[in-house]
Structure 1
Amino acid sequence: MRRRHLIAALPAVLAAACTTPASAPPSITVFFTEDSARLDSEATDVVRRAAQVARGGTGPVTVLGFAGPAGGAAYNRALSEARAQHVADLLAQNGVARERVRIVPRGPVPFEAVPTESRRVEIRIGS
């Protein structure tokens, strides 16, 4: 339910990306299923739209990967990096220059309000 709400809000987020002051770069979030570094078709579309926004600028694009706390710390660090790498690859496939993309694996983070929120990648355009 929350995922659909976020996808429905995407047009407003993307519009804000074009008008957000430099001090607050836009952040677009995609979610993964547990124990996976692959996106479903809806989330892949979100990354494609994020790439459109990123192609309109010249600043850096930071891709932060997260994983939940369940399991070992080393495994979750690797999973967060794999998630971030997957999103970075999709951005590049959709026209964002690889040299603009910086991958930042954040590793395991505590469960937030909903456990799936810990299984995410944040795309920060211009950060």
Structure 2
Amino acid sequence: MRRRTFFAAAPVLLAAACATQEPQGRAITVFFTEDSAQLGPEAQDVVKGVAERAKTMQGPVSVLGFAGPAGGVAYNRALSEARAQHVADLLVQFGVARDRIRIVPRGPVPFEAVATESRRVEIRIGA
């Protein structure tokens, strides 16, 4: 799968983010720094854009949270849920009805091609 990626710098204690923009119906992804469930301003702008798009579309908004495999399974499962919850809360803040949002914590996943790809939330509209 080919992705266009946008990077946004953030302080070390906050989450750095990049987003992938896919054709309609595909996932929009924001990435987090290690051990973080907070997004910086640039990533929040990406979520705001997704919220604007979601308000014009039908169907549920799925928010899938992921974490890398390093550390304990229980910790990473909770981290993936916290990441998904943070993004869901932002979507609501930006005007998406909470009852449309489905949080799906996926827990720890093996490192992808690049370790940071495992530390992500995928947002899917209508899925």
Structure 1: 5+ residue stretches without partners = 18-24
Q: State whether structure 2 residue 19 is matched by structure 1 residue 51.
A: no
SS of equivalent residue, structure 1 residue 122 = strand
Task: Give the corresponding residue for 1:74.
Answer: 74
SS of equivalent residue, structure 1 residue 75 = helix
Q: CA deviation at 1:58?
A: 2.0
Structure 2: 5+ residue stretches without partners = 9-17
Q: CA deviation at 1:26?
A: 2.0
**TM-score by structure 1 length?**
0.84
The CA RMSD over aligned residues, in Å, is 1.6
Q: Distance in 2 between matches of 1:58 and 1:93?
A: 18
Asked if the contact 1:26–1:126 (Cα under 8 Å) also holds between the matched residues in 2, the reply is: no
Which consecutive segments of 4 or more residues in structure 1 shift more than 6 A? none
SS of equivalent residue, structure 1 residue 105 = strand
**Quick one: higher RCO (CA 8 Å, sep 6+), 1 or 2?**
1
- Which protein is richer in helix relative to its size? 1
Q: Distance in 1 between matches of 2:26 and 2:54?
A: 10
- Which protein is richer in strand relative to its size? 2
